[in-house]
Structure 1
């Protein structure tokens, strides 16, 4: 027994080496730039939010935070890339209600949108129910009445099957018992252009995208899909005030790491994101984009995980009951 003790001590010491080495790696993280995968083109709402956050994360992490735009299939191409990235904290991804909730019910994915490691819930922006400038309805109740009377010819623009505008329209139909046709476009921009030109009748659009047109009078705004009014457009009533309580739809954004990223590294990244959100300049820029930042106690990994789970529970049955399929 005595002769074996040095061997046993050596074996136990060797067994602790990987753990010690990992601890050292976690303490030195990051030692090089971190990449944020953005699932949409440069210049879009998600890309803009990512670049704002990245700018301030750099100061906390001490290394550059690089943006990588990977487009295609409503964010699923980027989702697959992010899911297959090494779980070492050097590749993370930003996403939203569509990419990390709706896509899981619409697409046959090679990954699970619920299995990423959450870092932080960073923002939430409601949609607007908007209409073409000549639409006769003066308020939301009037719009619902007009749609019921003109369901055979009324049209709603979307950024394609399964996108937020489409799913929001389906939810609206279910709540109001209306029936109108959806017209898919290659993006929200072309759809909004056709709404302004009165080629389509209505649209459910991110407030950050259509507020300038509402302000200029080139489209009508009937309601904001949130329980409170927008600070940047207080004249637009909420759906509750306009007579359709419960039509809550928000493009919330979060940041995730690949499944299996160590907890110590998740904590470092989460702290960097939340420090960026605490910057007054970030709050100001987000507000200008129609995005509200959650309070600090609602930003962390646990909050993002629970929020995503609640959204999946709410929206997946709606998507599946409507048999929404990608093109």
Structure 2
């Protein structure tokens, strides 16, 4: 008798799960952006959310949950119900580096389901206009000649801008004094105002200000120039070999989210990325579009694990950690 009752209960639960997946989405979806409004992650998420709404037939809203290098926002998503209505947006910093920097109450791989690998950013070395250097070679000379380290804005310990700064230090042998913000949007505002000296920033965050002439760009951390900003040299072209880093982004949902729901979210994101208008907006932000064969949950999962293997030793060697 007990076995029959348990079998019935399991059947009900299973049926409920299938029905929920079939009905998805029946109300608005929230994409949690773990950084401040106005930054590069926020800008990309808003563009994608607006187009995903068309495919899913429900509102897709973004919520900015800042703090602790993005780990608070990711934690909010991790601990949400696994029903597809809460999506974690993040990147190399939030979904790779933070695992080596913070004592998290979740596991970045075991507690999340990958949805889609999103466009990537090469990093860009930018300074306030008051810095006298006009080339990367001149900037390196200026940084080395200072009696104290130049101030470098970041989105917090372990963020993409922080890891890129540490990578820049490793390659150049130059030390920087980091100034943490709740996102690179606020950091960029202070760079424009002359309150800090430099940022090793996501290209999508800085490119419009570079074009406007409010800050100065020196080089990007890619092996080829950006099609949207061909005037900016690569680091190697500018005389700095070995500085190559791409900040990719992605979307995840809590572990246990039904596969059918993950598939629906992936399809909506892929349709958005293939929309010519969306593609143009993202490319104008300096983003590199993801190859079609990489627009899968499996590709994101593989990239995340490979980047953990690459970056955690570098982060730990630099003793970047927050208790």
Q: CA deviation at 1:83?
A: 0.9
Q: Which residue of 2 aligns with 1:178?
A: 174
- Alpha-carbon spacing, 1:12–1:102, altered in 2? closer, same or farther (3 Å): closer
Structure 2 residue corresponding to 1:44, chosen from 12, 35, 39:
39
Q: Which residue of 2 aligns with 1:302?
A: 298
Q: CA deviation at 1:129?
A: 0.9
Question: TM-score, normalized by length of structure 2?
Answer: 0.87
Q: CA deviation at 1:17?
A: 5.6
Kindly provide the CA deviation profile for residues 139-169 of structure 1, in whole angstroms up to 9, marking residues without a partner as x: 323433443343x423032234333222212
Q: Which residue of 1 aligns with 2:78?
A: 83
- Alpha-carbon spacing, 1:322–1:31, altered in 2? closer, same or farther (3 Å): same
Rg bigger for which structure? 1
Q: CA deviation at 1:187?
A: 4.6
Cα pair 1:157 1:185 within 8 Å, conserved = no
What is the alpha-carbon distance in structure 1 between the residues aligned to residue 20 and residue 164 of structure 2? 45
Tell which deviates more after alignment, 16-25 or 250-259. 16-25
Q: CA deviation at 1:270?
A: 0.9
Q: Which residue of 1 aligns with 2:21?
A: 26
What is the alpha-carbon distance in structure 1 between the residues aligned to residue 5 and residue 255 of structure 2? 33
What is the alpha-carbon distance in structure 2 between the residues aligned to residue 211 and residue 130 of structure 1? 10
Cα pair 2:266 2:297 within 8 Å, conserved = yes
Structure 2 residue corresponding to 1:153, chosen from 148, 152, 165:
148
Structure 1 residue corresponding to 2:316, chosen from 308, 320, 326:
320
Kindly provide the CA deviation profile for residues 276-301 of structure 1, in whole angstroms up to 9, marking residues without a partner as x: 11111110111122222202211210
Cα pair 1:102 1:315 within 8 Å, conserved = yes
The 5 Å alignment of 1:275-294 reads 275-294=271-290
Question: TM-score, normalized by length of structure 1?
Answer: 0.86
Question: Tell me, which stretches of 5 or more residues in structure 1 are unaligned?
Answer: 1-7
Q: Secondary structure at the match of 1:167?
A: helix
What is the alpha-carbon distance in structure 1 between the residues aligned to residue 181 and residue 7 of structure 2? 63
What is the alpha-carbon distance in structure 2 between the residues aligned to residue 216 and residue 11 of structure 1? 66
Q: Secondary structure at the match of 2:251?
A: strand
What is the alpha-carbon distance in structure 2 between the residues aligned to residue 108 and residue 10 of structure 1? 42
Q: CA deviation at 1:15?
A: 6.4
Task: State whether structure 2 residue 247 is matched by structure 1 residue 224.
Answer: no
